[in-house]
């Protein structure tokens, strides 16, 4: 991911994910400026024509493992969304944006890892009732948000920013799926 002024910095994304998760995380200071960055694997992202180039797949085994695991987890969550949409058609419109975001995340994670994630295993049964299914999705989103924020903190450069972006998105999706008490009382 290039250093674009419209994108969140790694530090901001990690802080947001940590705060949203309700955990205290110490985030080491870093400078995302490519001209000053000595971070291995960091790229400027410029193609010389004013656009951005796709990230070069990582060759670092730890980075590939982290990105492949994240892609697998997001794929499984996306399949869960599809199952909930099929079981509860009334929720389909509400869940469609999340399915779209997750598909984009999986594509970027696979591209950055340079590998395909393993096939998803059998999904656990869905909860009974649409409210319980939404709560289940929100809980899974929040847990993955924390896991991906922690994984991002262990990496640097573009892979860390990508995982932090995915974590922030998951945290936001969890918040949108959570039924507020005041809304439920109406």
Determine if the pTM surpasses 0.85: no
- Nearest residue to 20 via CA among 153, 182, 144, 160: 144
For range 91-113, the mean pLDDT: 91
Q: Counting beta carbons within 10 angstroms of the beta carbon of residue 54, is it exposed (0 to 12), middle (13 to 18) or buried (19 or more)?
A: exposed
Q: How confident is the model at residue 46 (pLDDT cuts 50, 70, 90)?
A: very low
d(CA 164, CA 120) in angstroms, rounded, equals: 23
> What percent of the chain lies above the pLDDT cut of 70?
64
The distance of Cα 47 from the centroid of its chain, to the nearest Å, equals 25
What lies within 8 Å, CB to CB, of 124 at 6+ separation is: none
Set out the domains of the chain in order of their start, with CATH numbers: 62-117+125-177 (1.20.1260)
d(CA 69, CA 73) in angstroms, rounded, equals: 6
Q: What is the CA radius of gyration of the chain?
A: 17
d(CA 171, CA 178) in angstroms, rounded, equals: 11
Q: Are the C-beta atoms of 173 and 22 separated by less than 8 Å?
A: no
pLDDT at 123: 81
Helix (H, G, I), strand (E, B) or coil at 179: coil
What lies within 8 Å, CB to CB, of 89 at 6+ separation is: none
d(CA 102, CA 126) in angstroms, rounded, equals: 19
Over residues 114-134, the pLDDT tens digits come to 878 777 678 888 899 999 999
Over residues 162-178, the pLDDT tens digits come to 999 999 999 999 999 88
CA distances from 103 to 21, 139, 171, 182 (A): 23, 19, 16, 32
Q: Are the C-beta atoms of 153 and 25 separated by less than 8 Å?
A: yes
Which range is most confident: 3-12, 19-28, 120-129?
Answer: 120-129
């Amino acid at each position: 991911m290039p250093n674009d002024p419209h994108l969140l910095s790694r530090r901001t994304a990690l802080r947001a994910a940590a705060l949203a998760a309700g955990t205290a995380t110490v985030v080491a200071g870093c400078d995302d400026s490519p001209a000053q960055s000595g971070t291995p694997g960091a790229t400027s992202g410029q193609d010389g024509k004013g656009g951005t180039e796709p990230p070069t797949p990582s060759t670092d085994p730890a980075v590939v493992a982290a990105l492949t695991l994240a892609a697998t987890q997001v794929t499984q969550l996306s399949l869960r969304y599809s199952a909930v949409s099929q079981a509860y058609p009334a929720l389909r419109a509400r869940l469609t944006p999340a399915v779209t975001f997750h598909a984009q995340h999986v594509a970027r994670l696979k591209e950055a890892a340079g590998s395909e994630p393993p096939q998803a295993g059998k999904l656990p049964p869905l909860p009974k009732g649409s409210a319980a299914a939404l709560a289940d999705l929100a809980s899974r989103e929040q847990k993955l948000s924390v896991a991906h924020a922690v994984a991002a903190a262990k990496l640097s450069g573009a892979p860390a920013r990508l995982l932090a972006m995915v974590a922030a998105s998951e945290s936001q999706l969890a918040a949108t799926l959570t039924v507020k008490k005041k809304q439920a009382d109406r």
